[in-house]
A and B are shown apart, each in its own frame.
Chain A
Amino acid sequence: MEDVKPQLLKVTIDGIEVEVEPGTTILQAARKIGPDVAPPAMCYYQPLKGSGGKCRACLVRVAAGSAKDPRPMPKLVASCLTAVQDGMVVENTTNPQVIDARNGIVEFLLLNHPLDCPVCDQAGECDLQNFAFDHGKVTTRYEEDRRTFEKHDIGPFIQLHMTRCILCYRCVYTADQITEKRVHGVLGRGDASEIGTYIEKAIDNDFSGNVIDVCPVGALTDKTYRFKNRVWFSKPVDAHRDCPTCSGKVTLWYRGEEVIRVTARKNEWNEVTEFICNTCRFETKKTSDWTIEGPTKISRSSVISANKYRADTIKPSFGQRLAAAEYKPIDDERDTSQLTIQQLPPERFAKLPSAMEPEP
């Protein structure tokens, strides 16, 4: 029998057209184009079923629903949950309303999340830090007390610090989906909600360590690694071992000759595709346990790559380009012809300075 290929749907995101299979979400379609137009995601995590729609970081504007019904959608929609339709036109970084909403989301997320990056163990690998860098403001307008919690030990390997939690529910889904019993939960309502302490039971499971990897901020940390090092001083290496429980494919983080941490491998969207077991993660930290495959590919704009590439090879992130585009020269008498960054017309998002164009 002849294979019938499903008809591909055409979707335009920020002026770039892409063809995707039916059922693809806007976020997935944007990721297919590349990191420049991919909306940020704090709660969406592709391998976890049911995740997404909660943080509202990935809101986009649908300027035309489909070719058949080109009416725009009245509200911003969560791109991680909205399936594309043929002829859909999506505005992501080109829409000021979307940028404004995201600025708001950053502010909301940072109301109760302390900006203690210098002492937080997640620094450098923090999705919220990247998101705030791209869309945040320098100051906050929040004057009230932030909520604080005592640190919470979840077994011998994991520590939960709810103070930093942004309630993305990723660890809840992980604990729920990789264990057989329902051992997860969020207690309380509104801004009083917190990750249920019953999650302690997840420690019974061989895969509990994965909640550390999925946490987008520094709320869940690896007690065998906490405060041993800064991530940009370590060298990530892909390795594997013959593991009876999991795939055994991991990233080893070296400081000198010593393996200081083992994590699951993450893709370019910071998502673990193959979860690893606790034995691989916490108990096998000798080089002799592993077969080394080679250096891990790390995004050049990541802080982990700091000092490892020449400065001019680092591609500016969306946030840097946004800042450059929003730069307003001071109105004075000086000769401004030497300025490399010029004030841009309102359609600034569409036309970025040529020096800032993404590399081919």
Chain B
Amino acid sequence: MATKILTEHINVPGIETFDVYRKQGGYTAVEKALKTMTPEAIVEEVKKAGVRGRGGAGFPMGMKWSFLAKPEGVPRYLVCNADESEPGTFKDHYLMKHIPHLLIEGMIVSSFALGANKSFIYVRGELMYVIRILEKAIAEAKAKGFLGKNILGTGYDLELVVQPGGGAYICGEETALLESLEGKRGNPRNKPPFPAVKGLYQCPTVVNNVESIATAAWIVNNGGDAYAAIGIGRSTGTKLISASGHINKPGVYEIELGVPVEDFIYADEWCGGIRPGHKFKALVAGGSSVPILPANLALTLANGDKRLMTYESLSDGGFATGTMLGSGGFIVFDETSCIVRNTWNFSRFYHHESCGQCSPCREGTGWMEKVLHRIEYGHGHQQDIDLLVDVAKKIEGNTICPLGDAAAWPVASAIRHFRDEFQWHIDNPSEATQPGAVYRGDMALV
């Protein structure tokens, strides 16, 4: 049985209440951290654990914490990014809904480590029921003395605020999130200065994902070395994967990093294989913004080795033959999926969610969507495919925040790996626009 860090007790009835959570060994990390450890020691443990940010970018969490500026007389903030809204990613809200105290415990420990006395959980506005669950849990923790003034008599104060977001995807980008938290329009800020120097209200701020913060409690309890022993290489620990698409058992799974992609898709423990009678066609491994991979490249590296569920293995070969682990939004497509339609759909999302602040993203995402729409509906021209590649290239890397990249990568990778399918749409408009029509040509299916 694989090690479970976050979801070990998730099926215990009543785990969302303080008493049941406490009975399962909850809040011991708070006691240990506040009573026996110094903030520096906690940061050191997190560094040792080698845990990488679970929100998508995969930046080492301990290093991010150590960048936090510590000027005199200025408050520091911890902000939990719970604005999960990328198509295909739904692990954070699953965690918060089922075991809210795990996040709160992580928040207390992390805030103590960073010296923050007021911390925020920024939750996507649509998830009102999750916000209520969190608020209830916070009230319980406060009543038991784990939050508020003088926690457990140690002299440490912490106020935890749950802030509903406005429901914009861009508010998941850390600087846009901070703007939104300050009550402004959620436009990303130019970096530098980074939030670690000037973040919320121009004070040093750490922004971490729900899953990253939730692991902090386990790391405090068991030590960084124990965490680093799980996983492979620089991809340490466990990761929540939200699996969806044409698989037998969609859902949220906690895996030890290093599981082969093939096992994750086909083993009964996880996805349970492609739905009966169909074949595996393509994979989006880390939420809709990462490059899509055809079946053969999804299962094996370019050199023939098995592809593993790690940051390094999934990105092996760059974007030519690789992708990213991203936020763990694992979407599987079988041969009934039309890649052109799917790419258009993703593009539609990014067009709608672009904040419109910088010109390449504002104009480019809309342009790509319109061209893809045209191809999907049988009005594409031969030059449109190269046009899409070129527009994606002109957006990528030239924008203020990574939303431009997120919009460009799915389009560029879909054309890189499934160019025949785009060509088929352009060559056979009457056939391609039939309801349910999918390219059945020379596809590498598994």
A-side interface residues toward B, CB under 8 Å?
A: 42, 52-57, 59, 75-76, 78, 81, 100-101, 104-105, 107-109, 111-112, 141-142, 144, 166-167, 169, 186, 188-193
Chain A residues with CB below 8 A from B351, complex form: 190-191
B358 touches A76 (CB 8 A): no
Considering the complex, give the chain A residue whose CB is closest to the CB of B185.
A186
B354 touches A191 (CB 8 A): yes
Show 19 residue pairs from A and B whose CB-CB distance is below 8 angstroms, ordered by the A residue.
Answer: A53-B358, A56-B359, A75-B397, A78-B400, A101-B394, A101-B398, A105-B398, A108-B359, A108-B363, A111-B366, A142-B367, A167-B356, A186-B185, A188-B356, A190-B351, A190-B356, A190-B362, A193-B356, A193-B362
Given contacts A75-B397, A186-B185, contact A105 B360 (CB under 8 A): yes
A81 touches B190 (CB 8 A): yes
Chain A residues with CB below 8 A from B370, complex form: 144
Minimum CB–CB distance from B69 to chain A (whole Å) comes to 17
Considering the complex, give the chain B residue whose CB is closest to the CB of A82.
B192
B366 touches A191 (CB 8 A): yes
The answer, yes or no, to whether B437 is at the interface (CB within 8 Å) is: no
The answer, yes or no, to whether B357 is at the interface (CB within 8 Å) is: yes
Of the residues B356, B367, B394, B400, contact of A189 by C-beta under 8 Å: B356
- Per the 8 Å Cβ criterion, residues 321-362 of B in contact with A are 351-362
Given contacts A56-B399, A167-B356, contact A191 B387 (CB under 8 A): no
- Per the 8 Å Cβ criterion, residues 236-272 of B in contact with A are none
Interface of B: prevailing SS? helix
**In the complex, A169→B365 CA distance in Å?**
20
**In the complex, A188→B364 CA distance in Å?**
17
- The proximity string for B residues 374-412 relative to A, scoring 1 for CB distances below 8 Å and 0 otherwise, is 000000000100010000001101111000000000000
Chain B residues with CB below 8 A from A56, complex form: 358-360, 398-400
Minimum CB–CB distance from A349 to chain B (whole Å) comes to 20
A54 touches B358 (CB 8 A): yes
Considering the complex, give the chain B residue whose CB is closest to the CB of A81.
B190
B356 touches A108 (CB 8 A): no
4 closest A-B pairs by CB: A104-B394, A193-B356, A190-B354, A108-B363
Minimum CB–CB distance from B83 to chain A (whole Å) comes to 15
Chain A residues with CB below 8 A from B353, complex form: 189-190
B398 touches A190 (CB 8 A): no
User: What is the interface size of chain B, counting residues whose CB is below 8 A from a CB of the partner?
Assistant: 30
**In the complex, A78→B190 CA distance in Å?**
9
Considering the complex, give the chain A residue whose CB is closest to the CB of B355.
A189
**In the complex, A191→B364 CA distance in Å?**
9
The answer, yes or no, to whether B426 is at the interface (CB within 8 Å) is: no
- Per the 8 Å Cβ criterion, residues 84-124 of B in contact with A are none
Chain A residues with CB below 8 A from B362, complex form: 108, 167, 190-191, 193
B-side interface residues toward A, CB under 8 Å?
A: 168, 170, 185, 190, 351-367, 370, 383, 387, 394-395, 397-400
Considering the complex, give the chain A residue whose CB is closest to the CB of B363.
A108
A191 touches B398 (CB 8 A): no
Given A55-B358, A111-B363, A189-B170; 4 other pairs, CB 8 A cutoff: A101-B398, A105-B359, A108-B363, A109-B359
**In the complex, A193→B168 CA distance in Å?**
14
Chain B residues with CB below 8 A from A57, complex form: 359
B400 touches A190 (CB 8 A): no
A109 touches B363 (CB 8 A): yes
**In the complex, A190→B186 CA distance in Å?**
12
B363 touches A59 (CB 8 A): no
Of the residues B190, B394, B397, B400, contact of A108 by C-beta under 8 Å: B394
A59 touches B398 (CB 8 A): yes
Chain B residues with CB below 8 A from A42, complex form: 359
Of the residues A52, A76, A112, contact of B363 by C-beta under 8 Å: A112
**In the complex, A229→B265 CA distance in Å?**
70
Minimum CB–CB distance from A72 to chain B (whole Å) comes to 13
A104 touches B360 (CB 8 A): yes
Chain A residues with CB below 8 A from B356, complex form: 167, 186, 188-193
**In the complex, A191→B368 CA distance in Å?**
12
A53 touches B400 (CB 8 A): yes
Most buried by B among A52, A81, A108, A190: A190
A141 touches B352 (CB 8 A): no
Minimum CB–CB distance from B162 to chain A (whole Å) comes to 25
Minimum CB–CB distance from B188 to chain A (whole Å) comes to 10
Chain B residues with CB below 8 A from A141, complex form: 383, 387
A53 touches B190 (CB 8 A): yes
**In the complex, A167→B363 CA distance in Å?**
11
B359 touches A190 (CB 8 A): no
Of the residues B185, B366, B383, contact of A190 by C-beta under 8 Å: B366
Chain A residues with CB below 8 A from B185, complex form: 186
A190 touches B365 (CB 8 A): yes
Minimum CB–CB distance from B318 to chain A (whole Å) comes to 13
Chain B residues with CB below 8 A from A169, complex form: 357
Most buried by A among B170, B354, B357: B357
Chain B residues with CB below 8 A from A55, complex form: 358-359
